[in-house]
Amino acid sequence: MSQQPIPDIEKIRQLNEANQALKKQQERLELIIQGTNDGIWDWNIETGQFYFSERWLNMLGYQNNDIEQSFHGWLELVHPDDLGRFLLTWTEYMEGITSHFDIEYRLKHQDGYFLWVEGKGVSSINEDGFPYRMAGANSDIHSRKMAEEKLIQTTQTAEDAVNSQKRFLSTMSHELRTPLNAIIGFSEIIKDELEEQEDTVITKDVNRIYRAGTHLLGLVNQVLDIASSDNQNLKILPSAFEIQRLLSDIQEKFTPQVTQNNIHYAFADNLGNAQLDYKRVLMAVINLLDNANKFTHQGDITLNVSKDEHCLYFKVIDTGIGIPTIQLKTIFDPFIQGDSNYNRKYEGSGLGLTISKHYAHLMGGDVSVESTLDQGSTFTLKVPIEWAPPPQQ
């Protein structure tokens, strides 16, 4: 009688356990793959056999037999513009230059468009150090890529619009300056000649032309400064000067055509010297004084100048219309005016404060404001006594 081999109970138990563990691992793997919603690929490099998971194919609108399941079939779907980059990334990984295959690229969808995916993969290496199997996943990143592209386009459009606006302003300002200089220059000559002839009537009219021309030139220069403020054309030209000379100049230049206000000057003693952009400090202060006069109908305007160890302070105090709290944040923005109605009461471009603040910043200072509606405003220009150039980038 032939004897039946006795089953090795222990071996069977171990085999069962191993099977159970494998099943569990497989389940876990499938769950993870489903959870990531990625398309899986697997390449047996030795046999050349390729596997694309159902999700890999469905992501691109294909069914199992729609495309050739091979590396060649894959390459056929890659966007022509991404093909070079794709192959380079692949080669770099295969040659051990990079530790992972990882690339964002486009694959052709069944519907004809190209879908953005992120492809990742790693390989297994045999004892001789050669890769014998490679596997990885494709994630659908199309929506993110589209949103990024839209953002780039929107930013580019906005930048183009700002640049063309600046170019326009800068060209226009240059074009306007030439004839304006002629108007100012010739009206000055005529004015001098008429004054010699003691013709007071026409002198008055020519004076008007001269003043209007100078006012317009001031505006044009401000627009030009604003237009060039972002493209580094606006350079500070520091020079050493006596602060007292600057104050005399301010008093001489601040001669409003119309004023019913009392103007006071309160300068600290021994102000000494400064090393700053003389013209720009002058313009910043004059802008503040012009505003104080414009927005004060009958009252007092005081220019108070003092200094401490590091800074010079120009305080322009008026008893005018004041500024509503809500407007205090925006009045330094370009072209913003308290009253922006077409029929507004006050002339202006909405650039004076922007310019003054910009100049102050370029010199390492600032302009601040305190104001109470119907009572008046105080604008303070603070500049360091010595301007130090910003560090080179």
Q: Which residues bind ligand ADP (CB under 6 A)?
A: 291-292, 295, 318, 320-321, 323, 331, 337-338, 348-354, 377
Name the residue nearer to ligand ADP (CB basis): 117 or 353: 353
Contact 47, 133 (CB under 8 A): no
Measured from the Cβ of residue 89, the count of other Cβ atoms closer than 10 Å reads: 20
Measured from the CB atom, is 111 or 342 closer to ligand ADP? 342
CB of 157 to ligand ADP, least distance (A): 28
Residue 92 or 339 having the CB closest to ligand ADP: 339
Query: Which of residues 370 and 386 has its CB atom nearest to ligand ADP in the complex?
Result: 370
- Classify the C-alpha dihedral 352-357-361-363 as positive or negative: positive
Structure tokens at 89: 């990334």
Shortest reach from residue 377's CB to ligand ADP, in Å: 4
**Rounded CA separation 362/135 (Å):** 58
Q: What is the nearest approach in angstroms of ligand ADP to the Cβ of residue 229?
A: 14
CB of 169 to ligand ADP, least distance (A): 16
**Shortest separation between residue 285's beta carbon and ligand ADP, angstroms:** 13
Helix axes 278-294, 243-253, angle to 10 degrees: 40
231 burial (CB, 10 Å; 0-12 / 13-18 / 19+) is exposed
Map residue 369 onto helix, strand or coil: strand
Nearest alpha carbon to residue 283 among 364, 355, 336: 355
Nearer of residues 90 and 295 to ligand ADP, judged by Cβ:
295
In the complex, minimum distance from the CB of residue 356 to ligand ADP, in angstroms, rounded to a whole number: 8
Residue 367 beta carbon to ligand ADP: minimum distance, rounded to whole angstroms: 10
Q: What sign for the dihedral angle of Cα 99, 104, 106, 109?
A: positive
Residue 243 or 281 with smaller CB distance to ligand ADP = 281
Question: Among residues 140, 108, 121, which one has the least CA distance to residue 36?
Answer: 140
Describe the chain by its helix, strand, coil percentages, rounded to 5. 45, 20, 30
Nearer to ligand ADP, 95 or 374 (CB): 374
Residue 168, token pair as written in the block: 């326009």
